[in-house]
Amino acid sequence: MLVEDDPSIAEVLALHLQAAGCEVQPYAGGRAALDGAGGGWPDLVILDLGLPDGLDGMGVLRGLRRRQDVPVLILTARAEPRDRVRGLEAGADDYVCKPFDTEEVLARVRALLRRSGHPAGECLTAGELRIDRARYAVTIRGRDAALSPREVDLLFVLVQAQTRALTRGQLLDRVWGEAEVDPRVVDAYVTRVRRKLTEAWGDRGAVPWEIVTVWGVGYRFRLRGPEGPPP
Ligand code: CA
Protein backbone atom coordinates (compact mmCIF):
# COMPACT_ATOMS: atom_id res chain seq x y z
CA MET A 1 0.00 0.00 0.00
CA LEU A 2 1.48 3.31 -1.08
CA VAL A 3 0.05 6.40 0.61
CA GLU A 4 1.46 9.50 -1.05
CA ASP A 5 -0.34 12.62 -2.25
CA ASP A 6 2.42 13.82 -4.58
CA PRO A 7 1.55 12.09 -7.88
CA SER A 8 5.07 12.32 -9.32
CA ILE A 9 6.61 10.61 -6.28
CA ALA A 10 3.81 8.02 -6.15
CA GLU A 11 4.23 7.21 -9.83
CA VAL A 12 8.00 6.74 -9.70
CA LEU A 13 7.80 4.59 -6.58
CA ALA A 14 4.94 2.49 -7.96
CA LEU A 15 6.89 1.79 -11.15
CA HIS A 16 9.99 0.69 -9.26
CA LEU A 17 8.02 -1.42 -6.80
CA GLN A 18 6.12 -3.13 -9.61
CA ALA A 19 9.36 -3.81 -11.47
CA ALA A 20 10.60 -5.45 -8.26
CA GLY A 21 7.58 -7.77 -8.32
CA CYS A 22 5.35 -5.96 -5.80
CA GLU A 23 1.68 -5.34 -6.36
CA VAL A 24 1.03 -1.67 -5.55
CA GLN A 25 -2.21 -0.15 -4.29
CA PRO A 26 -1.79 3.64 -4.36
CA TYR A 27 -3.75 6.11 -2.19
CA ALA A 28 -3.49 9.90 -2.38
CA GLY A 29 -5.15 10.60 0.97
CA GLY A 30 -5.19 9.33 4.54
CA ARG A 31 -8.86 8.52 4.86
CA ALA A 32 -8.99 6.67 1.55
CA ALA A 33 -5.94 4.66 2.62
CA LEU A 34 -7.40 3.66 5.97
CA ASP A 35 -10.72 2.69 4.36
CA GLY A 36 -8.91 0.78 1.62
CA ALA A 37 -6.65 -1.12 4.02
CA GLY A 38 -9.63 -3.07 5.33
CA GLY A 39 -10.39 -4.47 1.87
CA GLY A 40 -7.28 -6.61 1.58
CA TRP A 41 -4.49 -6.71 4.12
CA PRO A 42 -1.37 -5.20 2.60
CA ASP A 43 2.00 -6.85 3.25
CA LEU A 44 3.58 -3.45 3.77
CA VAL A 45 2.61 0.23 3.91
CA ILE A 46 4.69 3.12 2.58
CA LEU A 47 3.30 6.18 4.28
CA ASP A 48 3.78 9.88 3.61
CA LEU A 49 3.13 12.04 6.69
CA GLY A 50 1.81 15.25 5.10
CA LEU A 51 -1.50 14.17 3.55
CA PRO A 52 -4.69 15.99 2.50
CA ASP A 53 -8.32 15.13 3.34
CA GLY A 54 -8.11 15.66 7.08
CA LEU A 55 -6.14 12.60 8.17
CA ASP A 56 -2.37 12.87 8.06
CA GLY A 57 0.16 10.03 8.06
CA MET A 58 0.34 9.85 11.86
CA GLY A 59 -3.43 9.41 11.95
CA VAL A 60 -3.23 6.65 9.34
CA LEU A 61 -0.44 4.99 11.31
CA ARG A 62 -2.47 5.01 14.53
CA GLY A 63 -5.52 3.69 12.68
CA LEU A 64 -3.51 0.88 11.09
CA ARG A 65 -1.86 -0.06 14.38
CA ARG A 66 -5.23 -0.45 16.04
CA ARG A 67 -6.24 -3.01 13.43
CA GLN A 68 -3.26 -4.90 12.19
CA ASP A 69 0.42 -5.51 12.57
CA VAL A 70 1.68 -4.54 9.13
CA PRO A 71 5.18 -3.17 8.51
CA VAL A 72 5.07 0.60 7.93
CA LEU A 73 7.77 2.63 6.22
CA ILE A 74 7.35 6.36 6.70
CA LEU A 75 8.44 8.50 3.79
CA THR A 76 8.44 12.18 4.54
CA ALA A 77 9.93 15.61 4.12
CA ARG A 78 9.82 16.05 7.92
CA ALA A 79 13.44 15.39 8.68
CA GLU A 80 13.67 16.67 12.26
CA PRO A 81 14.86 14.07 14.80
CA ARG A 82 11.74 14.66 16.92
CA ASP A 83 9.53 13.80 13.92
CA ARG A 84 11.48 10.60 13.44
CA VAL A 85 11.11 9.71 17.10
CA ARG A 86 7.38 10.46 17.02
CA GLY A 87 6.91 8.26 13.95
CA LEU A 88 8.91 5.37 15.33
CA GLU A 89 7.21 5.61 18.71
CA ALA A 90 3.81 5.56 17.02
CA GLY A 91 4.72 2.17 15.56
CA ALA A 92 6.48 2.85 12.26
CA ASP A 93 9.13 0.26 11.42
CA ASP A 94 11.40 2.46 9.35
CA TYR A 95 11.77 6.06 8.27
CA VAL A 96 13.12 7.60 5.05
CA CYS A 97 13.41 11.32 4.44
CA LYS A 98 12.65 13.13 1.18
CA PRO A 99 14.37 13.66 -1.12
CA PHE A 100 15.09 9.96 -1.12
CA ASP A 101 17.03 7.53 -3.24
CA THR A 102 14.62 5.05 -4.88
CA GLU A 103 17.06 2.16 -4.55
CA GLU A 104 17.36 2.82 -0.83
CA VAL A 105 13.59 2.79 -0.42
CA LEU A 106 13.40 -0.52 -2.34
CA ALA A 107 16.16 -2.03 -0.20
CA ARG A 108 14.33 -1.00 2.97
CA VAL A 109 11.05 -2.37 1.61
CA ARG A 110 12.72 -5.71 0.87
CA ALA A 111 14.29 -5.82 4.32
CA LEU A 112 10.95 -5.10 6.03
CA LEU A 113 9.15 -7.72 3.94
CA ARG A 114 11.83 -10.28 4.69
CA ARG A 115 11.56 -9.63 8.41
CA SER A 116 7.78 -9.93 8.31
CA GLY A 117 7.90 -13.20 6.39
CA HIS A 118 6.62 -11.82 3.08
CA PRO A 119 9.63 -11.80 0.76
CA ALA A 120 9.24 -9.22 -2.01
CA GLY A 121 8.62 -10.34 -5.52
CA GLU A 122 6.59 -13.46 -4.74
CA CYS A 123 3.36 -12.07 -6.17
CA LEU A 124 2.77 -10.76 -9.67
CA THR A 125 -0.34 -9.60 -11.43
CA ALA A 126 -0.92 -9.23 -15.15
CA GLY A 127 -4.40 -7.96 -15.93
CA GLU A 128 -6.83 -10.48 -14.46
CA LEU A 129 -4.06 -12.94 -13.73
CA ARG A 130 -2.60 -13.19 -10.24
CA ILE A 131 0.44 -15.36 -9.59
CA ASP A 132 1.41 -16.11 -6.00
CA ARG A 133 4.66 -17.98 -6.14
CA ALA A 134 4.94 -18.43 -2.38
CA ARG A 135 1.63 -20.30 -2.26
CA TYR A 136 2.00 -21.78 -5.75
CA ALA A 137 -1.35 -20.38 -6.78
CA VAL A 138 -2.47 -18.80 -10.04
CA THR A 139 -5.89 -17.25 -9.94
CA ILE A 140 -8.00 -15.56 -12.58
CA ARG A 141 -10.64 -13.30 -11.03
CA GLY A 142 -10.31 -15.38 -7.90
CA ARG A 143 -10.72 -18.71 -9.71
CA ASP A 144 -7.83 -21.15 -9.25
CA ALA A 145 -6.19 -22.14 -12.54
CA ALA A 146 -4.94 -25.43 -11.00
CA LEU A 147 -1.34 -25.12 -12.17
CA SER A 148 1.32 -27.45 -10.80
CA PRO A 149 4.18 -25.82 -8.85
CA ARG A 150 6.51 -26.09 -11.86
CA GLU A 151 3.88 -24.53 -14.12
CA VAL A 152 3.42 -21.68 -11.62
CA ASP A 153 7.19 -21.09 -11.65
CA LEU A 154 7.27 -21.07 -15.45
CA LEU A 155 4.42 -18.57 -15.73
CA PHE A 156 5.93 -16.42 -12.98
CA VAL A 157 9.27 -16.20 -14.76
CA LEU A 158 7.63 -15.37 -18.10
CA VAL A 159 5.39 -12.64 -16.63
CA GLN A 160 8.28 -11.24 -14.59
CA ALA A 161 10.32 -10.81 -17.79
CA GLN A 162 7.75 -8.16 -18.82
CA THR A 163 7.34 -8.96 -22.53
CA ARG A 164 11.04 -9.80 -23.03
CA ALA A 165 11.51 -13.14 -24.74
CA LEU A 166 13.30 -15.84 -22.74
CA THR A 167 15.19 -18.69 -24.37
CA ARG A 168 14.50 -22.31 -23.49
CA GLY A 169 17.91 -22.35 -21.82
CA GLN A 170 17.02 -19.37 -19.62
CA LEU A 171 13.69 -20.96 -18.73
CA LEU A 172 15.36 -24.26 -17.85
CA ASP A 173 17.86 -22.41 -15.73
CA ARG A 174 15.30 -20.28 -13.87
CA VAL A 175 12.50 -22.82 -13.51
CA TRP A 176 14.21 -26.22 -13.44
CA GLY A 177 17.56 -24.97 -12.16
CA GLU A 178 19.50 -27.53 -14.16
CA ALA A 179 20.71 -28.05 -17.69
CA GLU A 180 20.13 -31.81 -17.81
CA VAL A 181 16.50 -31.44 -18.83
CA ASP A 182 15.56 -31.79 -22.50
CA PRO A 183 14.65 -28.29 -23.81
CA ARG A 184 11.55 -29.82 -25.40
CA VAL A 185 10.19 -30.23 -21.87
CA VAL A 186 9.81 -26.44 -21.83
CA ASP A 187 7.58 -26.62 -24.92
CA ALA A 188 5.38 -29.24 -23.29
CA TYR A 189 5.01 -27.14 -20.14
CA VAL A 190 4.21 -23.97 -22.09
CA THR A 191 1.49 -25.86 -23.96
CA ARG A 192 -0.02 -27.06 -20.67
CA VAL A 193 0.12 -23.61 -19.06
CA ARG A 194 -1.56 -22.05 -22.09
CA ARG A 195 -4.33 -24.66 -22.00
CA LYS A 196 -4.96 -24.40 -18.25
CA LEU A 197 -5.08 -20.60 -18.32
CA THR A 198 -7.48 -20.63 -21.25
CA GLU A 199 -9.69 -23.16 -19.44
CA ALA A 200 -9.68 -21.09 -16.26
CA TRP A 201 -10.56 -17.98 -18.27
CA GLY A 202 -13.60 -19.84 -19.60
CA ASP A 203 -16.00 -18.39 -22.13
CA ARG A 204 -15.63 -14.71 -21.22
CA GLY A 205 -14.51 -13.77 -24.72
CA ALA A 206 -11.00 -13.51 -26.10
CA VAL A 207 -8.29 -14.51 -23.63
CA PRO A 208 -6.61 -11.20 -22.65
CA TRP A 209 -3.03 -12.55 -22.59
CA GLU A 210 -0.84 -14.90 -24.52
CA ILE A 211 2.42 -16.77 -24.26
CA VAL A 212 3.97 -16.00 -27.61
CA THR A 213 6.32 -18.42 -29.34
CA VAL A 214 9.31 -16.43 -30.61
CA TRP A 215 10.75 -18.57 -33.35
CA GLY A 216 14.43 -19.36 -32.92
CA VAL A 217 14.42 -17.78 -29.44
CA GLY A 218 11.86 -19.07 -26.98
CA TYR A 219 8.80 -17.57 -25.36
CA ARG A 220 7.46 -14.31 -24.08
CA PHE A 221 4.34 -13.30 -22.21
CA ARG A 222 2.17 -10.39 -23.21
CA LEU A 223 -1.14 -8.84 -22.34
CA ARG A 224 -3.37 -8.07 -25.27
CA GLY A 225 -4.70 -4.51 -25.44
CA PRO A 226 -8.47 -3.90 -25.33
CA GLU A 227 -8.45 -3.40 -29.10
CA GLY A 228 -6.82 -6.72 -29.78
CA PRO A 229 -3.17 -7.65 -30.00
CA PRO A 230 -0.71 -4.81 -30.57
CA PRO A 231 1.50 -5.02 -33.67
CA1 CA B 1 2.72 14.85 1.16
Indicate whether 228 belongs to any domain.
no
Structural domains of the chain, count: 2
Separation of 51 CA from ligand 1 center, angstroms? 5
Separation of 1 CA from ligand 1 center, angstroms? 15
* CATH number, position 190: 1.10.10.10
Separation of 3 CA from ligand 1 center, angstroms? 9
Is 107 within 8 Å of 118 (Cβ atoms)?
A: no
Domain boundary among 53, 83, 116: 116
Question: 194's torsion region: left (phi>0), alpha (psi -120 to 50) or beta?
Answer: alpha
Q: Which residues contact 62 (CB under 8 A, 6 or more apart)?
A: 90, 91
Separation of 9 CA from ligand 1 center, angstroms? 9
For residues 149 and 76, membership in a common domain is answered with: no
- The domain in which residue 182 lies consists of 123-223
**pLDDT tens-digit profile of 96-105?**
999 999 989 9
What is the pLDDT confidence band of residue 231, given thresholds at 50, 70 and 90? very low
Indicate whether 76 belongs to any domain.
yes
Determine what percent of the chain falls in helix, strand and coil, rounding each to the nearest 5.
Answer: 40, 20, 40
**pLDDT tens-digit profile of 53-74?**
889 999 999 888 877 778 999 9
Indicate whether 101 belongs to any domain.
yes
Separation of 29 CA from ligand 1 center, angstroms? 9
Indicate whether 197 belongs to any domain.
yes
Neighbours of ion ligand 1 (CB under 5 A): 5, 48, 50
Separation of 105 CA from ligand 1 center, angstroms? 16
Q: What pLDDT, on a 0 to 100 scale, did the predictor assign at position 226?
A: 57
For residues 47 and 78, membership in a common domain is answered with: yes
Separation of 198 CA from ligand 1 center, angstroms? 43
For residues 17 and 107, membership in a common domain is answered with: yes
DSSP SS3 for 21 = coil
DSSP SS3 for 37 = helix
**pLDDT tens-digit profile of 149-200?**
899 999 998 988 877 899 999 898 888 876 678 889 999 999 999 999 999 9
Beta bridge partners, 106, equal: none
For residues 102 and 158, membership in a common domain is answered with: no
Separation of 43 CA from ligand 1 center, angstroms? 22
